[in-house]
Amino acid sequence: MKQNFRLFFCWAAITVILLSSTLTPAYAFEPKDQNYYERFQGKGISISVYNWGEYICNGGDGLMNVNEEFTKLTDIKVNYTNYATNEELYAKMKSGGSNYDVIFPSDYMIARMMKENMLAPLNHENIPNASYINPLFHDNSYDPGNVYSIPYTWGTVVIIYNKNKIKEPIESWQVLWDERYKNEILMFSNSRDAFGIALKALGYSLNSEDPKELREATDLLKEQKPFVQSYVMDQIFDKMEANEAMIAPYYAGDAISMMESNEDLAVAFPKEGTNLFVDAVCIPANSDNQEAAEMYINFLNEPKVAADNIEYIGYSSPNLAAFDLLDEEIQNNEIIYPSMEILEQSEQFINLSDETNLRMDQLWTEVLASKGSFLSWGFAPVVTILALFATKNWMKYNRRKKRKRMVDE
């Protein structure tokens, strides 16, 4: 299927809207079903939403303040707090100490939470706007049929590089192993993303659980270490924009924002395929307000709301009606909405077995702790000095004790 993805997108959007328009009036921010949103008015309900930072539109620049509008419309109060990583979210949810109603985990984390019964199955009747979701995201490998989750954003991992310094076209992940770019390469500092790239470079699946393949990936990552300037996450933004490094893997939507600050940057999709990530909205199993939470999810999928959110976040939208509301420039952007060909090659993360997760962490520590430790210089002298001090003080201590005993006598 070599069809342009944008065309597919538009076509799909039109079909879905035509279909859904038989049930509901056309999309606009005026909610299609006022009664639906007014059900909880005057009941003093509040929901707790737990989201990534900077991951919802908070007004300004002509966009809406999503949480405020929701409260205005439904009279449901929103307690909004943030987390920084999937793992923090997991650790917090696992303790069971707090009740959240809406959370936004990523693909593999959704699968893990599903496995551990931490999520509530959604009542799709309460989320009519889910019909806007692109059919491409109906059968995600982490949650087939979107039983527990409604996709919120998606994107791919791309190679971002400085085209002034790297003239030749980039085709493969192998470029991150190129000796010519020694000390100009940035690499992910989290194990799952780093191993994903190494596995892809070797031609294996991102989700490989085969110890032999993981071993190979580890060796490859160790091989890369001398060329890597630093292992980073969000520092990539500043380092790439300030021309501190030449090349780095990162998320497509963020690459666009880097390119806005530095015109020399460009993006490449490696031929081995890449990671397609999805962040989705879920309801924890211990939520007390599932219906209100579902209303919130439905609201997030109102075309205008979803469009404003996606404009704010800068990632790609799975919501077709929202896609239609975006600027043509964004719709045509092949980095944010890559061709079907690229999408077909890419793979989603799924949850790995506990065993593999543990092994991966161990192997990653092995990579990071391998040689070049700070110990190489001057460890021996320090130990000697400390030992000398210790013995000296020990002798002093004994002497004083003796003296004291003598005085006592």
Partner 1 sequence: MKVKATASPYLLWMALFIIIPLGLVAYFSVTDRLGNFSLENYRASLAYSPVIFNSIWLAIIATVICLILAYPLAYNFSRKSANHQRTLILLIMLPMWMNFLLRTYAWMTLLENNGLINRFFGLFGLGPFEMINTSGAVVLGMVYNYLPFMILPLYSVMTKIDHSLIEAAQDLGCNSIQVLKNVIIPLSMPGVTTGVTMVFVPAVSTFVISRMLGGGSNMLIGDLIEMQFLGNAYNPNLGSALSMVLMVIILICMALTNMFEGVEEKEGMLL
Partner 2 sequence: MSKWLSRSYIGLVLTFLYAPIFVLILYSFNQSKSRGHWTGFSLRWYEKLFHNDAILNAFMTTLLVAVIASVIATVLGTAAAIGIHNMRKRSRTAIMNITYLPVINPEIVMGVSLMLLFVLMGIKFGLITLILAHITFNLPYVILSVMPKLRQMDHYLFEAAMDLGCTPLQAFMKVTLPEIMPGIVTGFLMAFTFSLDDFNISYFVSGDKFQTLPILIYSMTRKRVSPEINALSAIIFIVVLLVLILVNINDVRREKELRKKEDALR
Q: Which residues bind partner 1 (CB under 8 A)?
A: 85, 87-88, 90-91, 94, 189-192, 225, 228-232, 235, 238-239, 242-244, 352, 354, 357-358, 360-361, 364-365, 368-369, 372-375, 378-379, 382, 386, 389-390, 393-394, 396-397, 400-401
Q: Are 214 and 195 in contact (CB under 8 A)?
A: yes
Chain positions 53 to 112 lying near partner 2, rule: CB under 8 A, are 53-55, 58-60, 79-85, 88, 91-92, 95-100
- The token duo for 45 is 């309900």
CA-nearest of 382, 315, 371, 332 to 7 is: 332
For 347, the 3-state DSSP assignment is strand
- Helix, strand, or coil here: 187? strand
Neighbours of 318 (CB within 10 A): 27
- Contact window for partner 2 (CB under 8 A) among 257-265, 340-348, 372-380, 387-395: 257-265
Residue 241 binds to partner 2 (criterion: CB under 8 A): yes
The piece of 144-152, 160-168, 231-239, 323-331 that touches partner 2 (CB under 8 A) is 231-239
Closest among 220, 232, 214, 217 to 358, alpha carbons compared:
214
Give the Cα separation of 305 and 326 in Å (integer). 12
Return d(Cα 162, Cα 204) in angstroms, integer.
Answer: 28
Distance of CA 187 to the CA centre of its chain: 15
- DSSP result, 369-384: HSS--GGGTTHHHHHH
81 binds, among partner 2, partner 1, none (CB under 5 to 8 A by kind): partner 2
- Report in angstroms how near the CB of residue 106 gets to partner 2 at its nearest: 10
Judged by CB under 8 A, the number of residues near partner 2 is: 39
Q: Binds 205, which of partner 1, partner 2, none (CB < 5 to 8 A, cut-off by type)?
A: none
How many residues does this entry show for the chain? 409
Chosen residue from 184, 254, 294, 302 binding partner 2 by CB under 8 A: 254
Closest to partner 2 by CB, 76 or 136: 76
Closer residue to partner 1, CB minimum distance, 192 or 304: 192
Q: For the window 125-144, what string marks contact with partner 2 as x by the rule CB under 8 A?
A: --------------------
CB closer to partner 2 out of 88 and 327: 88
Nearer to partner 1, 90 or 277 (CB): 90
The two tokens of residue 318 are 């799975």
SS3 state of residue 74:
helix
State the distance between the two ends of the chain, measured CA to CA, in whole angstroms. 99
Q: How far apart are CA 53 and CA 312, in angstroms?
A: 12
Candidate list 21, 123, 257, 370; residue touching partner 2; CB under 8 A: 257
- Show contacts with partner 2 in window 21-60 (CB under 8 A): 48, 50, 52-55, 58-60
Site mask, partner 2, residues 267-306, x = CB under 8 A? ----------------------------------------
Write each residue from 141 to 160 as x if it is in contact with partner 2 (CB under 8 A), else as -, in one continuous string.
--------------------
List of residues 6+ apart from 23 with CB closer than 8 A: 128
The SS3 call for residue 77 is strand
Cβ atoms within 10 Å, residue 174: 12
CB of 265 to partner 2, least distance (A): 11
Range list of H helices, 183-301:
191-201, 211-224, 235-241, 252-261, 290-300
Residue 53 CB, nearest distance to partner 1 (Å)?
12
Which residues contact partner 2 by CB under 8 A? 48, 50, 52-55, 58-60, 79-85, 88, 91-92, 95-100, 233-234, 237-239, 241-242, 244, 254, 257, 260-262, 313
